[in-house]
Amino acid sequence: MSLRRCYPDSFKNLLVVAIADPTKRRPFPGAVTPKIRRPAVTRANKRNEMQMNGSEVVEKGEEMTAATHIPVALERCIEILSPAINTSAKPVIVDATLGLGGHSYELLNRFPNLQIIAIDRDQEALKVAKNKLKNFGSRISFNHAIYSEFSEILQKNKVDKIDGALFDLGVSSMQLDQDERGFSYSRKAPLDMRMDQSQKLTAQYIIENYEKGALIRVLKEYGEEKFANKIAGKIIENRGKIFSTLDLAQLVKAAIPAPARRTGGNPAKRTFQALRIEVNGELRAIEVAVPAALEALNVGGRLVVMSYQSLEDKIIKRTFETATKSATPLGLPIELPGSKAKFKLLTRGSEASTATEIETNSRAQSMRLRAIERLVA
């Protein structure tokens, strides 16, 4: 018996669609559609997973180059810095985290009178950036240093005041993509984690030499790891057996209770973040560099900072709040002479990347941007 004789055309078409493509099946009239339970994926959880370690957004075997690198929040950074650049006859900007040179390239290309002082601690990144930016000649100076040496770099370049500064914090794209650097917990590599390959301290040294109390401090302060005591104990017990990133990741997993491993992404992410911050002195460097950058700004000068995890952002938020406060005691009806706030915020809180940018550049998902402008000398 044919479908044409037994069923109305509309019902027959529904059956045909269901048979041809099961994903497009619709319930029959009056049928109860079963609810499908999916694991909860919150925006915060996904963001935290990415900010702890970039391995989730790096294709295995993919290597980041100057040609493929996509600078995060490029147009927003240029939009914020433009007024400061355009109001100066010979504008100077410090790119405190040059990386592969994406932000500096666009700034130099769009503003013919601009001079950039570029800083990066990663010699390999500097080599790539120098090649990318070679056509700009003396308009950019390259400095192998950590951004906590901000003031010293200005002195070296014989510059007293600047019109803007840009910080793109955290691990660079190239560092994440190169397995041998040891930043990823999902791929086997030496326990290195150095942003500056010329420094001596490595994650391997910390694993093999830090006392238990020091390990607990690092894991708690820099990884916000609530199982720091258990993880530190496991590390001490297994010294001499931890040789790679995967060895460490498996050890951390074994140290964390099973119920806690079922949520929150890879259980090793906080440990890896903590070790990376300790190896590179990241938070201490931010606490020195950002106030130095504020001090160096001309009136009308602007500072843009992009952070990728909450510990970084808290430092920026606190520093900016202090800079934008009046020195006049609370309760006085008038502003005392010389007490006016020297800076104003250019963003309401922190700004996130747009959905459009995240679609084309997944590394932008955890970014938080804050900006500030100097009002008076």
d(CA 267, CA 18): 41
Nearest to 148 by CA among 202, 193, 96: 96
Return the minimum-mean-pLDDT range out of 65-69, 132-136, 201-205, 342-346: 65-69
Average pLDDT over residues 205-210: 98
Report the pLDDT value the prediction gives residue 306, as an integer from 0 to 100.
Answer: 98
Average pLDDT over residues 227-250: 97
Return the minimum-mean-pLDDT range out of 18-27, 234-243, 343-352: 18-27
Q: What is the pLDDT of residues 263-282, one digit of tens each?
A: 878 999 999 999 999 999 99
Identify how many contiguous H helices and E strands the chain contains and give both numbers.
17, 8
d(CA 211, CA 113): 53
On the question of pLDDT at 42 being above 60, the answer is: no
On the question of pLDDT at 51 being above 80, the answer is: no
Percent of the chain with pLDDT strictly greater than 70: 82
Average pLDDT over residues 344-359: 96
State pTM to two decimals.
0.81
Report the pLDDT value the prediction gives residue 26, as an integer from 0 to 100.
Answer: 40
What is the average pLDDT value for the chain, to the nearest integer? 86
More confidently predicted of 45 and 368: 368
Average pLDDT over residues 157-164: 98
Report the pLDDT value the prediction gives residue 337, as an integer from 0 to 100.
Answer: 85
On the question of pLDDT at 162 being above 90, the answer is: yes
On the question of pLDDT at 22 being above 80, the answer is: no
Q: How confident is the model at residue 198 (pLDDT cuts 50, 70, 90)?
A: very high
Contact 246, 275 (CB under 8 A): no
Percent of the chain with pLDDT strictly greater than 90: 72
Domains and CATH numbers, the chain: 1-32 (no CATH), 46-63+175-280 (1.10.150.170), 74-168+297-374 (3.40.50.150)
Return the minimum-mean-pLDDT range out of 39-53, 90-104, 311-325, 346-360: 39-53
**Helix (H/G/I), strand (E/B), else coil: 216:** helix
Helix, strand, coil shares, percent, the chain, to 5: 50, 10, 40
Return the minimum-mean-pLDDT range out of 206-215, 243-252, 325-334: 325-334
Q: What is the pLDDT of residues 287-300, one digit of tens each?
A: 999 999 999 999 99
On the question of pLDDT at 32 being above 80, the answer is: no
Report the pLDDT value the prediction gives residue 69, as an integer from 0 to 100.
Answer: 77
Q: Which residues pair with 167 in a beta bridge?
A: 305
d(CA 164, CA 374): 10
Report the pLDDT value the prediction gives residue 372, as an integer from 0 to 100.
Answer: 98
| DSSP H helices in 87-224 | 102-110, 123-132, 150-156, 173-177, 203-209, 212-223
Report the pLDDT value the prediction gives residue 281, as an integer from 0 to 100.
Answer: 97
Q: What is the pLDDT of residues 69-92, one digit of tens each?
A: 789 999 999 999 999 999 999 999
Give CA separation, 72 vs 54, 172, 330, in Å.
14, 11, 39
DSSP string across 156-170: HTT-S-EEEEEEE-S
Average pLDDT over residues 151-164: 98
Contact 139, 108 (CB under 8 A): yes
Q: How confident is the model at residue 330 (pLDDT cuts 50, 70, 90)?
A: confident
Report the pLDDT value the prediction gives residue 87, as an integer from 0 to 100.
Answer: 96
Average pLDDT over residues 321-329: 92
